[in-house]
Amino acid sequence: MAESASAKQGEEVGHILILTRNGVVGELIRAHLSAEGFCTTIVPAPFALADGQKYRRAIALCDCDSLYAVNFREYAEKIITWADSQGFRTLFFAVDGDDLIHEALDLGAWGALALGDGVERLTGAARAISGGELYFPRKIIASKIMESPRRKTAEAGCASALSHREREILAALGNWGSNEEISLKLNISAHTVKTHLYRIYRKISVKNRSGALIWAMQNMPDQMGGNTTTPSR
C-alpha cells in the first residue's frame, strides 16, 4: 500500500483510503488529495486490510471503474458493509449512471461522483463527508426529497414518535457514529445501538444510515449540529 505523509490539514479532515486496482488512477487521486492536505493510502484489496483501526474515521474512496465488473449493487453493498464495520464512510468515484448513484445512496453510501467527474471534485466531496455531510448530485438529492410526500401520511408525526434515546442515536450518526462509538458515547452496548437503529428505521420508513441521516436533517435539524446534505452540482 502506498501511503502519503500526514499533514496538519490532513489530520483535521481525515484519512482517505483509495480503493482501486488501477495504479495510475490511484496515484493520480493520491497526488491530488495529498496536495490538498489529506492523508492518503492506496488499498488495492480492501477486504485484506490488516489493521482498519489504524485508519479510524477514514473515508473509503472506491474507484468503481476498476473494482467491479458487472453487479454494482452487490459490490457496493459489500464495500459499505465492510466500511461500516471499520467505522469508515464510503464515497464512490466514477459511478456509471444516475441509477447506480441512486443505488449507492439507498445502500448507505455517504457520497458518489459520476463517471467523468474530474479528480478536482474529490476535494469538495471528501471535505463535506469529513464534516458529516452527504455528497451526491443535486438531482439525486432532489428526487430523494421529492419521495418524502409520497410516503405514508403518518410519517409526518414520526419525529415525535421517537424516544429521547433514539433521537440521541440519530444525532450521533452525523458525527462519525459507528455502532461502537455511539455505544461508548451513550454508555450502552453496541448490540443495543443496533436494536435502536432497527427500530428507528422502521419508525421513519428508511432502509439504512444514509436514509436515516437524510430524514434527520429534514426533521430534526437542530439536533444534527448543523450537518447538511451537500449537492455536488
**Looking at the domain assignment, is residue 230 inside a domain?**
no
- Same-domain pairing of 155 and 86: no
Work out how many domains the chain is built from and give that number: 2
* DSSP structural state of residue 156: G
**Looking at the domain assignment, is residue 201 inside a domain?**
yes
Q: Are 223 and 216 in contact (CB under 8 A)?
A: yes
Put the strands of the sheet holding 39-43 in their side by side order: 39-43, 15-19, 59-63, 89-95, 111-114, 134-136, 229-231
For residue 60, the model assigns a pLDDT of 92
- Same-domain pairing of 79 and 175: no
| End position of a domain, from candidates 101, 136, 171 | 136
Indicate the average pLDDT of the chain: 78
- Same-domain pairing of 39 and 74: yes
| End position of a domain, from candidates 96, 115, 136 | 136
State the CATH number of the domain containing residue 79. 3.40.50.2300
- Same-domain pairing of 99 and 163: no
pLDDT for residue 10 is more than 70: no
**Looking at the domain assignment, is residue 2 inside a domain?**
no
- Same-domain pairing of 39 and 102: yes
pLDDT band at 150, cuts 50/70/90? very low
pLDDT for residue 55 is more than 60: yes
Q: Cα–Cα distance between 42 and 61 in angstroms, integer?
A: 10
Q: Cα–Cα distance between 106 and 110 in angstroms, integer?
A: 10
Question: H-helix or E-strand containing 42?
Answer: strand 39-43
- Same-domain pairing of 20 and 106: yes
172: containing domain: 145-224
CA distances from 201 to 39, 73, 84 (A): 34, 21, 16
- Same-domain pairing of 111 and 155: no
State the CATH number of the domain containing residue 155. 1.10.10.10
For residue 28, the model assigns a pLDDT of 92
pLDDT for 192-203, tens place per residue? Answer: 888 888 888 888
**Looking at the domain assignment, is residue 232 inside a domain?**
no
